[in-house]
Amino acid sequence: MVIISYLYIGIDDTDSPDGMCTTYLACHIIRRLKENSIDIVGYPRLIRLNPFARFKTRGNGGVSFKIFNDDKADLAKKIILDEVSALSMFDCDNTNPGVVFYDGEITEEMEDYAFRAIYSFITIEEAEKFAKSAGCEIHKFKKGRGIIGSVAAISMPLDDYTYELLAYRIPDNYGTKRRIDYESVIKMDKETFPDTFENVDYSENYIAIEPKTPCPVLYGIRANDDSILTKAQDIVKVSEPIEDYCIFLTNQHTDMHIQKADNISQMKQFGCYEVTATVKDKPHVIGGGHMFFKVYDETGEIECGAYEPTKDFREIVSHLRPGDVIRLFGGIGEQNTFNIEKFQAVKLNDVEYRNPICECGKRMSSAGKDKGFKCKKCGKRIKSSQKVSIKIERFLNNGQFYETPVSARRHLSKPLCRM
């Protein structure tokens, strides 16, 4: 009997805000392996980790892939380490690559570690200790912080997943305006959404497949199914050379970062949660266009924010009113504010209390504290201070979900079109 064993490879922290991208490096390495007759098994994986990680360059993503663990494994390791040494952005203080090799089964402990890397913070020392105990071979460059994400990228189970096709530019074009025909992107979106998604933000007139940084990525198309990606790629027209492209299997847009909290007191800073709570006060805008309101439950209260980049989402949030029960999805950031990614209106408060209407038809006004109401038109007074309840029309709908626009969405956030 032939026992197939794999060599898993994890790579992270090779890029800087000025350039490179760990997915590009992986794509380049995969090509170099192929030139040496070493094929990877399945798709490479792009695994997004804790969105609040302190040293992330952009979206906190690590990459992993696997090859057969045969007599070419040593050559593969050499090619990988040589390429990481040659291409990582070592000049940047915050670029501390880590490469991890692992040739066993992915254990439950490794899966638990991967979830810790998405839910909490891990130090380089912890990652190193864990990786060694799990039997990984680790390679640290400079501080080697990348091993934190590399072990997680290898170990993360993917019950839910999506795909991203990343097309890369030739180096001569790095940093220049990307020559993408926007009309063709809109055509692609019209013909392939919702199998592909996050292509265009129509409300913001924003082409979301195009990165805004000087990295090697020309565009990235995200999809539920790998089979639609070739069709989508054929529709998108560009007028610059594409050096290469690669399809990644990924946990993007799966809500994997969200933990279900039973109540507000269970939530901690720098964690991402789903929680159901009641709106306490009317949403209001504070400097810079950020919108805030508080929610509460029997265990406490927390301030929620819909920040300026969430644009029109703030208008939706502004329709919330005290007493609304909502299911929130988001994360607690630097300011200890719950950053809303989306919410569901669970039970909207459609009752409003108003002063009674006088017999003469005019709405009465208060006659003073505990003194009932008086009519300014006909002078009639009533002693009771009891307001009357009326049912009001709401802009929001019970049961409906509302989400931030594509332009402000986290890589891990599950869009409504996938729910």
Kindly tell me which residue out of 6, 9, 12, 415 binds ligand ATP, with binding defined by CB under 6 A: 12
**What percent of the residues of the chain are helix, what percent strand, and what percent coil, each to the nearest 5?**
25, 30, 45
The window from 9-17, 129-137, 174-182, 233-241 that contacts ligand ATP (CB under 6 A) reads 9-17
Q: Is 55 in the site for ligand ATP (CB under 6 A)?
A: yes
Q: Is 364 in the site for ligand ATP (CB under 6 A)?
A: no
Residues 324, 303: Cα–Cα separation, whole Å:
15
Residues 78, 33: Cα–Cα separation, whole Å:
10
Of 212-251, which residues contact ligand ATP (CB under 6 A)?
A: none
Q: Which two tokens stand for residue 194?
A: 């919702």
Q: What are the φ and ψ backbone dihedral angles of 19, each rounded to 5 degrees?
A: 170, 180
Which residues contact residue 57 at a Cβ distance below 8 angstroms, ignoring those fewer than 6 apart? 15, 16, 17, 94, 95
- Count of CA atoms in the C-beta half-sphere (13 A) of 109: 11
Residues 323, 112: Cα–Cα separation, whole Å:
38
Kindly tell me which residue out of 50, 162, 250, 310 binds ligand ATP, with binding defined by CB under 6 A: 50
Q: Is 88 in the site for ligand ATP (CB under 6 A)?
A: no
Kindly tell me which residue out of 40, 49, 136, 295 binds ligand ATP, with binding defined by CB under 6 A: 49
| CB neighbours of residue 389 within 10 Å | 10
Q: How many residues bind to ligand ATP according to rule CB under 6 A?
A: 23
Q: Is 128 in the site for ligand ATP (CB under 6 A)?
A: no
Q: Is 280 in the site for ligand ATP (CB under 6 A)?
A: no
- Nearest approach in angstroms of CB 413 to ligand ATP is 15
Q: Is 193 in the site for ligand ATP (CB under 6 A)?
A: no
Kindly tell me which residue out of 9, 10, 11, 15 binds ligand ATP, with binding defined by CB under 6 A: 15
Residues 66, 39: Cα–Cα separation, whole Å:
9
- Beta bridge partners, 219, equal 167
Residue of this chain nearest to ligand ATP (CB atom): 149
Q: Is 117 in the site for ligand ATP (CB under 6 A)?
A: yes
Contacting residues toward ligand ATP, per CB under 6 A: 12-13, 15, 21-22, 49-50, 53, 55-61, 96, 117, 121-122, 145-146, 148-149
